[in-house]
């Protein structure tokens, strides 16, 4: 690890370091006592509520909107159409220049002339209460002329299929081809070639608090305050300003408590843009809270992919090549501003990533369709890439009769093989696939489980073991969005300030949605400064009151925001010791800060309390030696520059039982070993892993947005769209291997998406393992009883 400082003890070795310790998160009591402040709780004077009239059709021309009767309904403030609102807020196109060829059409805050998915807003009804707005909604008459919907991604590119946006020429939003090595030769030379088509259910985030925003345009100040549950406040500020014709400084984004995000709340949605614009138009606070039906119809969906895969393998287990052909349907528009091509792009990047094979060919096609938009959701692309890769590896192992752990041992990049690069050019600084696999097999007692599995089969109990290795993109640099022209910051900033009582206020541009951003920031700052965490207050989620930065997404908060906090705290520490040296007539290098006191470095003798030092600096600077100007505030920013992404790795395993009569799957146990580098708070990391894994298990077993052929979402409620509940979920054992990144002093990589990346792959492999006696192979999720029984030939 880089140690540029001359401190006698590293941050990690200091006697009262909080790094690597489980410390309860600050502010949990507020949430547990029901005293949080979520946007849905917020009420402002003169606030009105907006409800959106949404299209019942997947594709239709809007012939006429008749709102005169509705406008007379009690409590109605205004009824606004897309055409009217387009005078206030400009449309956008969700493309980025580094995704070459990506195209999309202008999207309006409220549909103008045409609706392109069931659920697209057609008009806004603003009223004094949500109930009053909903009362008026039926009185708004809309005449639609239905158009042919494009729903099946497999036929979206056929010549006879209508083109959704004629100006674009076709329904192909983006295509990427990649070829490394010589796949054709490798496959010809392989002992076996196995292929399969992997099908993924379109699913969504189902945050428990729906998306919510309160926009408050103060015409007298010419300033818009946006209260929003968002992961990226500065991005929202920039986008809102851009499309409302304001300067960034005229938009203040405040993000208090957020009821779940997972990538759902890192985008800018049309109805949120409409809410900002309505506030500006009507000159009063406007509140929008999606109901659950709207959440299912408008929160971004993800993972709607069909991916054909091929793998070549030798009899000795050597994998010779991977080849994929991925097809995904993203809805009618590429989302703004992060675009809807990133997921497929990630699939191309990540397939085969853990393995040595250098022969790789990929095609990914991203097509438009008349369904809700798709975009980045927790672990973007990783679950697809991992399921395809690990599914193919297991199929290859089965073909050559090799144990699934053994084939991985023979092909995973060796732990001493770094730095190296993947066939798609991803650079790996230091991964630990073998150490992770070894640890996983020990944790699960692999050999004993295999024996148990084989014994139970004698009594017609069908259990399976599934293993899935994975790599994960974390700590993204500007390579993710900035290079493509998006005004999304990849750097983050932290300001730390010693107050007049020796406590520290810390302002950070990363955000909190429950991951523990406040906790990790406090732990780092406290450790560097030598003060206790109860003296640290962390402020985040406020564009007026934090440094500029990206926020919390793509597993970047700890690695990037944490490093900025570390460097800011180091500077403040230097500044404090400089003042202390002057006060104590000592050399700063001979002093340290321990337990809120400045002490002698040599023997720990207490010299002056921080509180006393702060008192002198703030109230009696006249007593300081001439020429000293203390700076008890320090700000530092950080962005990775050496590696575009800090890759992490891990491996998961599932142990489950399939009831071959009913098709039900019982998850018995799940294991995850991952390597996120330096662990700041072990409990928080483990809980990120567990929560992430359960999101992946939901995708594996239950979650699917079911559309009919007319583009109607048929299960847009929580009774019909199944999510994992406590009764079906297993206990999850989490282990770690620690390979810190040397790009930062902290050494932390991201951990937020590792659980989601590999969970479904492990389950799918375990199901196929359980069903091996029947010769059934399933490469589709969710693994519903219907899918299982169909594969078994029972229905």
Partner 1 sequence: MLASPTSAEKDPDMIAPCAISLTVNGEQVEAYVPPRLNLADFLREHLQLTGTHVGCEHGVCGACTVRLNGDIVRGCLTLAVQANGAVVETIEGLSDAGEIADLHAAFRDRNALQCGYCTPGMLVTAQDLLLQCSAPDRELIREHLSGNYCRCTGYEAIVDAVEVTARSRRERGR
Stretch in the footprint of partner 1 (CB under 8 A) among 439-447, 632-640, 721-729, 779-787: 721-729
Stretch in the footprint of partner 1 (CB under 8 A) among 1-9, 530-538, 569-577, 722-730: 722-730
Stretch in the footprint of partner 1 (CB under 8 A) among 77-85, 394-402, 432-440, 513-521: 513-521
Q: Residue 448 contacts by C-beta under 8 Å, 6 or more apart in sequence?
A: none
For the CB of residue 263, give the shortest distance to partner 1 in the complex, in Å. 12
Which of residues 138 and 197 has its CB atom nearest to partner 1 in the complex?
138
- 119: left (phi > 0), else alpha (psi -120 to 50), else beta? left
For the CB of residue 306, give the shortest distance to partner 1 in the complex, in Å. 26
144, 115 Cβ separation under 8 angstroms:
yes
Please, which of residues 141-170 interact with partner 1 by CB under 8 A? 141-144
Which of residues 224 and 380 has its CB atom nearest to partner 1 in the complex?
380
The total of other beta-carbon atoms located within 10 Å of residue 722's CB is 16
75 binds partner 1 (CB under 8 A): no
292 binds partner 1 (CB under 8 A): yes
Stretch in the footprint of partner 1 (CB under 8 A) among 35-43, 187-195, 362-370, 477-485: 35-43
Select the residue interacting with partner 1 from 584, 729, 787, 792 (CB under 8 A).
Answer: 729
CA distances, 549 to each of 242, 298, 484, 544 (Å): 18, 27, 17, 12
For the CB of residue 390, give the shortest distance to partner 1 in the complex, in Å. 21
Select the residue interacting with partner 1 from 589, 718, 786, 794 (CB under 8 A).
Answer: 718
For the CB of residue 551, give the shortest distance to partner 1 in the complex, in Å. 15
E strands, 7-71, are 48-54, 60-66
Q: Bridge-partner residues for 672, per DSSP?
A: 652, 734
Residue that is written with structure tokens 């007379």 in the block: 72
Rounded CA gap, 2 and 745, in Å?
6
Rounded CA gap, 751 and 408, in Å?
23
Select the residue interacting with partner 1 from 263, 391, 644, 691 (CB under 8 A).
Answer: 691
Q: Name the burial class of residue 479, with classes exposed (0-12), middle (13-18) and buried (19+) by CB atoms within 10 angstroms of its CB.
A: middle
Q: Nearest to residue 705, comparing CAs of 408, 329, 343, 436?
A: 329
375, 341 Cβ separation under 8 angstroms:
no
- 458: left (phi > 0), else alpha (psi -120 to 50), else beta? alpha
Which of residues 291 and 786 has its CB atom nearest to partner 1 in the complex?
291
209 binds partner 1 (CB under 8 A): yes
Q: Nearest to residue 408, comparing CAs of 376, 433, 382?
A: 433
Please, which of residues 188-207 interact with partner 1 by CB under 8 A? 205-207
652, 762 Cβ separation under 8 angstroms:
yes
Select the residue interacting with partner 1 from 16, 90, 683, 715 (CB under 8 A).
Answer: 683
732 binds partner 1 (CB under 8 A): yes
Q: Where are the alpha helices (DSSP H) in 283-358?
A: 292-298, 342-350
74 binds partner 1 (CB under 8 A): no
Rounded CA gap, 55 and 110, in Å?
11
208 binds partner 1 (CB under 8 A): yes
Which of residues 41 and 631 has its CB atom nearest to partner 1 in the complex?
41
Select the residue interacting with partner 1 from 29, 189, 403, 455 (CB under 8 A).
Answer: 29
Stretch in the footprint of partner 1 (CB under 8 A) among 3-11, 148-156, 352-360, 713-721: 713-721
For the CB of residue 176, give the shortest distance to partner 1 in the complex, in Å. 31
Q: At what angle do helices 233-244 and 270-282 cross, to 10 degrees?
A: 60
CA distances, 182 to each of 178, 298, 315, 351, 359 (Å): 12, 43, 20, 16, 6
For the CB of residue 261, give the shortest distance to partner 1 in the complex, in Å. 8
Select the residue interacting with partner 1 from 7, 12, 31, 93 (CB under 8 A).
Answer: 31
CA distances, 654 to each of 463, 663, 723, 757, 759 (Å): 10, 17, 19, 14, 8
Please, which of residues 751-790 interact with partner 1 by CB under 8 A? 755
727 binds partner 1 (CB under 8 A): yes
Which of residues 319 and 694 has its CB atom nearest to partner 1 in the complex?
694
- Residue 160, both tokens: 């006879």
Stretch in the footprint of partner 1 (CB under 8 A) among 26-34, 334-342, 458-466, 551-559: 26-34
Which of residues 515 and 768 has its CB atom nearest to partner 1 in the complex?
515
For the CB of residue 683, give the shortest distance to partner 1 in the complex, in Å. 5
719 binds partner 1 (CB under 8 A): yes
Which of residues 63 and 589 has its CB atom nearest to partner 1 in the complex?
63
Rounded CA gap, 13 and 622, in Å?
37
Rounded CA gap, 74 and 135, in Å?
9
| Residue 323 per-residue DSSP state | E
Which of residues 295 and 768 has its CB atom nearest to partner 1 in the complex?
295
Select the residue interacting with partner 1 from 78, 139, 584, 668 (CB under 8 A).
Answer: 139
Q: Report the chain's terminal Cα–Cα distance, integer Å.
A: 58
Stretch in the footprint of partner 1 (CB under 8 A) among 164-172, 528-536, 655-663, 714-722: 714-722
For the CB of residue 688, give the shortest distance to partner 1 in the complex, in Å. 8
Select the residue interacting with partner 1 from 41, 152, 499, 612 (CB under 8 A).
Answer: 41
| Cα-to-chain-centroid distance, residue 391 | 24
Which of residues 210 and 588 has its CB atom nearest to partner 1 in the complex?
210
Stretch in the footprint of partner 1 (CB under 8 A) among 266-274, 419-427, 496-504, 679-687: 679-687
Q: Residue 332 contacts by C-beta under 8 Å, 6 or more apart in sequence?
A: 105, 116, 117, 164, 165, 368, 369, 370, 371, 373
Stretch in the footprint of partner 1 (CB under 8 A) among 111-119, 242-250, 415-423, 514-522: 514-522
Give the per-residue contact string, 245-274, with partner 1 (x = CB under 8 A; - = no).
------------xxxxxx------------
Element (H, E) at 543: none
For the CB of residue 579, give the shortest distance to partner 1 in the complex, in Å. 36
291 binds partner 1 (CB under 8 A): yes
b or e along 432-463 (b: 16 or more beta carbons within 10 Å of the residue's beta carbon)?
bbbbbbbbbbebbebeebeeebeeeeeeeebb
Which of residues 29 and 406 has its CB atom nearest to partner 1 in the complex?
29
Say what the alpha-carbon torsion angle 275, 279, 284, 287 is, to the nearest 10 degrees: 10
CA distances, 319 to each of 349, 395, 402 (Å): 18, 12, 12
Select the residue interacting with partner 1 from 690, 704, 736, 749 (CB under 8 A).
Answer: 690
714, 652 Cβ separation under 8 angstroms:
no
Site for partner 1, rule CB under 8 A: 24-25, 28-29, 31-38, 40-41, 66, 69, 131, 138-139, 141-144, 205-210, 257-262, 291-292, 513-516, 683-684, 687, 690-695, 717-719, 723-729, 731-732, 755
């Amino acid at each position: 690890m880089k140690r540029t400082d001359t401190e006698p003890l590293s941050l990690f070795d200091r006697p009262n370091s909080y790094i690597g310790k489980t410390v309860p998160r600050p502010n949990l009591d507020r949430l547990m006592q029901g005293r949080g402040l979520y946007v849905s709780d917020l009420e402002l004077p003169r606030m009105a509520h907006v409800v959106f009239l949404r299209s019942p059709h997947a594709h239709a021309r809007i012939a006429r909107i008749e709102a005169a009767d509705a406008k007379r309904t009690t409590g109605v403030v205004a009824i606004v159409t897309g055409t009217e609102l387009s005078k206030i807020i400009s449309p956008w196109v969700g493309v980025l220049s580094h995704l070459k060829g990506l195209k999309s059409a202008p999207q309006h805050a409220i549909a103008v002339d045409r609706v392109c998915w069931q659920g697209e807003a057609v008009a806004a009804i603003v009223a004094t209460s949500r109930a009053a707005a909903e009362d008026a909604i039926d009185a708004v008459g809309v005449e639609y002329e239905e158009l042919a919907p494009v729903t099946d991604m497999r036929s979206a590119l056929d010549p006879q299929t209508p083109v959704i946006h004629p100006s674009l020429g076709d329904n192909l939003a983006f295509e990427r081809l990649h070829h490394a090595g010589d796949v054709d030769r490798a496959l010809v030379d392989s002992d076996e070639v196995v292929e399969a088509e992997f099908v993924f259910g379109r699913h969504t985030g189902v945050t428990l608090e729906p998306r919510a925003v309160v926009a408050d345009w103060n015409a007298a100040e010419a300033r818009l305050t946006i209260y929003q549950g968002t992961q990226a406040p500065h991005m929202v500020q920039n986008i809102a300003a851009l499309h409302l014709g304001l300067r960034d400084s005229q938009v203040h984004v405040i993000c208090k408590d957020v009821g779940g995000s997972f990538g759902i709340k890192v985008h800018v949605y049309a109805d949120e843009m409409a809410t900002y614009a309505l506030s500006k138009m009507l000159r009063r606070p406007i509140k929008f809270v999606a109901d659950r039906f709207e959440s299912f119809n408008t929160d971004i969906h993800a993972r709607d992919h069909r991916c054909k895969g091929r793998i070549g393998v030798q009899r000795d287990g050597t994998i010779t090549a991977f080849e994929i052909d991925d097809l995904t349907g993203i809805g009618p528009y590429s989302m703004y501003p992060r675009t809807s091509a990133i997921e497929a792009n990630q699939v191309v990047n990540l397939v085969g990533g853990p393995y040595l094979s250098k022969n790789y060919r990929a095609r990914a096609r991203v097509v438009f369709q008349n369904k809700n938009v798709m975009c980045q959701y927790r672990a973007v692309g990783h679950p697809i890439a991992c399921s395809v890769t690990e599914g193919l590896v297991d199929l290859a192992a089965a073909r050559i009769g090799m144990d699934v752990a053994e084939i991985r041992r023979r092909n995973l990049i060796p732990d001493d093989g770094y730095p190296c690069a993947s066939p798609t050019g991803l650079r790996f600084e230091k991964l630990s696939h073998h150490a992770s696999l070894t640890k996983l097999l020990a944790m699960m007692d692999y050999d004993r489980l295999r024996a148990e599995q084989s014994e139970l089969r004698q009594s017609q109990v069908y259990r399976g073991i599934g293993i899935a290795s994975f790599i994960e993109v974390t700590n993204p640099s500007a390579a993710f969005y900035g290079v493509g022209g998006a005004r999304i910051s990849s750097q983050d900033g932290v300001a730390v300030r010693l107050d007049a009582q020796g406590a520290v206020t810390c302002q950070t541009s990363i955000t909190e949605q429950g991951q523990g951003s406040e906790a990790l920031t406090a732990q780092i700052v406290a450790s560097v400064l030598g003060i206790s965490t109860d003296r640290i207050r962390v402020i985040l989620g406020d564009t007026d009151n934090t440094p500029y930065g990206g926020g919390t997404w793509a597993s970047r908060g700890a690695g990037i925001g944490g490093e900025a906090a570390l460097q800011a705290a180091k500077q403040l520490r230097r500044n404090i010791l400089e003042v202390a040296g002057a006060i104590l007539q000592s050399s700063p290098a001979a002093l340290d800060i321990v337990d809120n006191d400045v002490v002698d470095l040599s023997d720990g003798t207490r010299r002056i309390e921080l509180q006393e030092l702060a008192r002198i600096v703030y109230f009696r600077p006249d007593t300081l030696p001439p020429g000293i100007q203390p700076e008890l505030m320090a700000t530092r920013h950080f962005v990775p520059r050496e590696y575009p992404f800090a890759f992490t790795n891990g491996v998961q395993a599932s142990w489950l039982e399939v009831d071959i009569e009913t098709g039900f799957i019982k998850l018995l146990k799940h294991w995850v070993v991952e390597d996120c580098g330096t662990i700041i708070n072990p409990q928080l990391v483990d809980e990120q892993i567990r929560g992430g894994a359960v999101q992946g298990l939901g995708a594996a077993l239950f979650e699917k947005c079911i559309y009919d052929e007319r583009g109607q979402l048929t299960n847009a409620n929580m009774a019909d769209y199944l999510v994992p509940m406590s009764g079906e979920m297993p206990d999850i054992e989490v282990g770690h291997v620690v390979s810190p990144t040397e790009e930062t002093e902290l050494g932390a990589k991201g951990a937020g998406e590792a659980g989601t990346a590999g969970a479904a792959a492990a389950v799918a492999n375990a199901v196929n393992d359980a069903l091996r006696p029947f010769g059934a192979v399933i490469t589709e999720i969710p693994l519903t009883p219907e899918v299982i029984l169909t594969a078994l030939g029972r229905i």
